[in-house]
Amino acid sequence: MSPYMPGEIDNTWNDPRQRAPLVVGESASFHGVTEKICAVAEAPRPPKAWYIGFAVAFTFLNILGVMIFYLLFTGVGVWGMNRPNMWAFDITNFVFWVGIGHAGTLISAILFLFRQKWRTGINRFAEAMTIFAVVCAGTFPGIHVGRVWFAYWLFPIPNQMSMWPNFFSPLLWDVFAVSTYATVSILFWYMGMVPDLATFRDRATTKIRYFAYGLFSLGWRGSNRHWHVYERAYLILAALATPLVLSVHSVVSFDFAVSQVPGWHTTIFPPYFVAGAIFSGFAMVITLAIPARQLFGLQDFITMRHLDNMAKIILVTSMLVGYAYLMEFFIAYYSGSPFDRFHFLNREFGNMFWAGWIMFGCNAIIPQVFWFKWFRQNPWALMIICALVNVGMWFERFVIIVTSLSRDFLPSSWHWYTPSYVEVLTLMGSFGLFSTLFLLFCRYLPMVAMAEVKSVLPQANPHNVTGEPNPTGYQPVLTSDEKH
């Protein structure tokens, strides 16, 4: 139990005879859930910290806008790229953000299919994060091309030239993979939100809120028929989204694996990228969840148990990623390819060795502390380690892209890479975009899937109405509307 969060209820025991409660404290009732979640959006004004965060985020969003404007009107040369480093921050950021966007769908789709009930506390939150990350990710391939005004040629649009895109190119697969992923994620997120939006609508006190939530709740009345259709659709979307979790980052990894640059041309990339994406996605969920639950008082929903579970996933994926790192080394040695051998030596001991070690250290070594319970359950430790994981994962993409490109085949073409200020500010600006969207989400939309959380409360279990032993010692008080 954290010393920093007095009053928090410990639900992190592992007693196989008893399921630990997923919602704790005063919120562990149908009414409690509704009140607690709606309170965030219905409060007359958000906490001060929200304003500060929003000001910072919005500033960076504006910086992003200025940087993109400058880029588009001037040329890609305002970034620090050169030959041979034709990609650098742009694609690094793209892959980084796409990776972040993996946790949401994993939580909402795969964990749903596996009946992992603890997902309900964090899934809305993670899905929103996914969508905002995909928005950030989608920005970069869009603006990084030399002639942005023709970027639509990437899409197979019938045209007078009878010209199709090149279906051999992994970049084209990217277009399909990421756009499909974005579409399904948004649908999934929005559809799951409809019952909660209806709750907001029903509780609305102003006309604007009533109209806006009313519009987006699509006339949800909560009838049995609605619930039936909803749950069926949710299941289908979850089934659709599940392969996407694996496919998107696999396809993104093809950008590299299909090419022949030493350090890119590796068959391990698809699973390695997916593991890395889940790894970084969960790290980002924790990084955001810890301050958010504190700020909006969601400790009852995002409990220590949730954090503990996520830390365990991070530990597993960290080891997967670490295994992939080592396996790359082994294969480079075992293949006998002098280019690959050189590349991996160069990655750890060459002129950009620091980037290689940041990646290896942050991703494969530091998360090993999650073997210890204290680290899994101390919010500060979790925050710091997860932030480091995010740094490490950004560097992983940077190392793969820049270290590989900067020294490929002909030594005469080797060239150092230095980012320009525009690139750095664009990266920071993308965090601004992400944070702005996220803060708006926190303020105006249901951060926790109320309807789903209610379904995992002990009260929702038809066999449990008489009250199963309640280890928290908290006796739910049934409110009048829940009695019938």
Partner 1 sequence: MPSMKGKNPLKGKKYWRSLNEVADAPEFKEFVAREFPSQASEFIGGGESRRNFLKIMGASAALAGLASCRRWPEEKLTPYAHRPANRMDGVPVHYATAFERGGMGQGVIAVSFDGRPIKVDGSPTHPLNMGASDIYLQGDVLNVYDPDRSRGPVTRDGGKRSESTWEDFEAAAKKIDKTRLVVLSEASRSPSVARLRGQLVAAGAKWFEFEAWSADNQRAGALAYFGRPLRAVPRLDAATIIVSIDADLFHGEPLSIKFNRDFAAGRKLRDSAKFAEAQMNRLYVVESGFSITGSMADHRRAVKPSAIPGFVAALAAKVGVAGATGAAAKELAEFVDALASDIDSASKTGQKTVLVAGSRQPAEVHAAVAAINAKLAAPVEYYADPEDPRAETGWSTHADQLSAFAQAAAGAGTVLVIGCNPALTAPANIKIADVLKKVTSIHIGTHEDETAQISAWHVPQAHFLEAWGDVRTFNGAVSVAQPLIEPLFGGRSTIEILSLLLGDKKQGEDIVRETAGADYLKGRLTDWNWKKALFDGVVENSARKSESPVPGAAAAAVFGKLSGAVKSGEIELALFAGALFDGRYANNGWLMEMPDPMTRVSWENPLIVSPKTAARLGLVSDDVVEIHAGSSSIRAATYVLPGHADDALSIAVGYGRKGLGSVADGIGGDAWALRGDGTMLISDVKLVNTGERPIVACVQDHHTIDAVGKNRMYTEVPELVVEGTFAQYKKKPALGTRKIVALSIFDEHSYEPGQPWVMAKWGMAIDLTTCTGCSACVVACQAENNVPIVGKQMVYRGREMHWLRIDRYFKFARDEKTGAPAGDLSQGSALGSGVDPTDVQVVHQPILCMHCENAPCEEVCPVAATTHSHEGLNMMTYNRCIGTRYCSNNCPYKVRRFNFFDFNAGHTYGEKENLYTPNLLRDDLDELLKMQKNPQVTVRSRGVMEKCTYCVQRIENARIQILAKNRQDAGNAKFPDGAVVTACQQACPTDAIVFGDLNDSKSRVSQLQALAQVYGLLDTELNTKPRTQYLAKVRNNAGDLDRGLYNEHTASEGWFFENTEEPSEKTEKAKG
Interface contacts to partner 1, rule CB under 8 A = 70, 73-78, 80-87, 144-148, 150-151, 153-154, 163-166, 168-172, 175, 255, 258-261, 336-339, 342, 345-346, 349-351, 405, 407-416
Is the CB of 228 or the CB of 415 nearer to partner 1?
415
Distance of closest approach, residue 75 Cβ to partner 1, in angstroms: 4
Q: Residue 131: phi, psi to the nearest 5? A: -65, -40
> Which of 332, 306, 352 is closest to 85 using CA atoms?
352
Distance of closest approach, residue 152 Cβ to partner 1, in angstroms: 9
Distance of closest approach, residue 260 Cβ to partner 1, in angstroms: 5
Distance of closest approach, residue 94 Cβ to partner 1, in angstroms: 12
Q: What is the DSSP letter of 478?
A: P
Distance of closest approach, residue 352 Cβ to partner 1, in angstroms: 10
The strand ranges marked E within 116-246 are: none
Please return the burial class of 212, using the count of CB atoms within 10 Å of its CB with bins 0-12, 13-18 and 19+. Answer: middle
Is the CB of 58 or the CB of 353 nearer to partner 1?
353
Show Cβ contacts of residue 139 under 8 Å, excluding neighbours closer than 6 positions: 68, 430, 433
Q: Give alpha helix (H) positions in 336-420.
A: 338-349, 353-360, 373-377, 379-398, 404-406
CA distances from 67 to 62, 150, 251, 350 (A): 9, 20, 28, 32
Is the CB of 113 or the CB of 157 nearer to partner 1?
157
Tokens linked to 111: 């964990």
Show Cβ contacts of residue 409 under 8 Å, excluding neighbours closer than 6 positions: 262, 339
Is the CB of 213 or the CB of 342 nearer to partner 1?
342
Report cis status (omega within 30 of 0) of the bond before 21. Answer: no
Distance of closest approach, residue 425 Cβ to partner 1, in angstroms: 15
Is the CB of 251 or the CB of 385 nearer to partner 1?
251
Distance of closest approach, residue 264 Cβ to partner 1, in angstroms: 8
Is the CB of 66 or the CB of 163 nearer to partner 1?
163
State the helix-helix crossing angle for 269-295 and 379-398, rounded to 10 degrees. 140
Nearest-angstrom CA–CA distance, 315 and 372: 11
Is the CB of 154 or the CB of 248 nearer to partner 1?
154
Please return the burial class of 115, using the count of CB atoms within 10 Å of its CB with bins 0-12, 13-18 and 19+. Answer: exposed
Is the CB of 171 or the CB of 186 nearer to partner 1?
171
Distance of closest approach, residue 410 Cβ to partner 1, in angstroms: 6
